[in-house]
Amino acid sequence: MDRLDSRIIEELQRDGSLSNNELAARVGSTAPSCWRRIRQMEEAGILRNTVRLVDRKALDLTVHVVCNVRMSSHSRESIEAFETLIVSEPCVLECFSMSGEWDYLLQIVACNVERYEEFLMRKLLRHPSVAGASSQFSLRMVKYTTALPCRT
C-alpha cells in the first residue's frame, strides 16, 4: 500500500457512496487508477463490504449497554454454543473475546431498559455456559467512528 491507497481508504471511510470520479478528484488521481486500486484492495481483503451507517436514535434504539460476560465453562462446545447465540442476536452489535477477569465484552442496543432486561434475563443469563454478566449503561456517546487509521 502506498500513500494514494491510504488516501483512497480514508475517503471511502468518510463517504462510501462517492462515485469513482468524485473519489479520483478528491485523492488527486484518475478514475481508472482509482477503480483498479479499489479492485486490488478488495481482492486482497483490505476493503470489505460497503455499508451505510444508521443513526441508532432515529430507530429509537436509545439504550446502549456495555455488558461483560463470564463463562462457567470454556469447553469448545460451550464457547461455540454461546457464540452462536450472540451472533444470532440483532441487539448485539459487537462481541469481543477478552483476556482478564471477563471472558466476553458485548456492545448491545435496545429501545428501552425493559427490552434489554428481557434479553439479559431470558436469553443471556439462561445460557448454560454463562456464569454471570455485568451491565454498564452508556450516558452519552463522546466519540463514534468506524474509520481505521491508515499507515504510510
- Number of domains comprising the chain: 2
Q: What is the CATH number of the domain that holds 130?
A: 3.30.70.920
Q: Are residues 72 and 21 in the same domain?
A: no
Q: Are residues 78 and 21 in the same domain?
A: no
* Pair 69, 136: CB distance under 8 Å: no
Note the pTM of the prediction, 2 decimals: 0.86
* Pair 63, 136: CB distance under 8 Å: no
Which residue carries 481482492 as its cell?
Answer: 43
How many other β-carbons are positioned within 10 Å of the β-carbon of residue 147?
Answer: 10
| Domain span holding position 24 | 3-43
* Pair 79, 111: CB distance under 8 Å: no
How many other β-carbons are positioned within 10 Å of the β-carbon of residue 132?
Answer: 12
Mean pLDDT of 86-106: 98
Q: Which residue has the higher pLDDT, 145 or 65?
A: 65
Which residue carries 470489505 as its cell?
Answer: 48
| H/E element, 80 | helix 76-88
Q: Are residues 131 and 62 in the same domain?
A: yes
pLDDT above 80 for 152 = no
Confidence of residue 1 (pLDDT cuts 50, 70, 90): confident
Q: Are residues 93 and 132 in the same domain?
A: yes
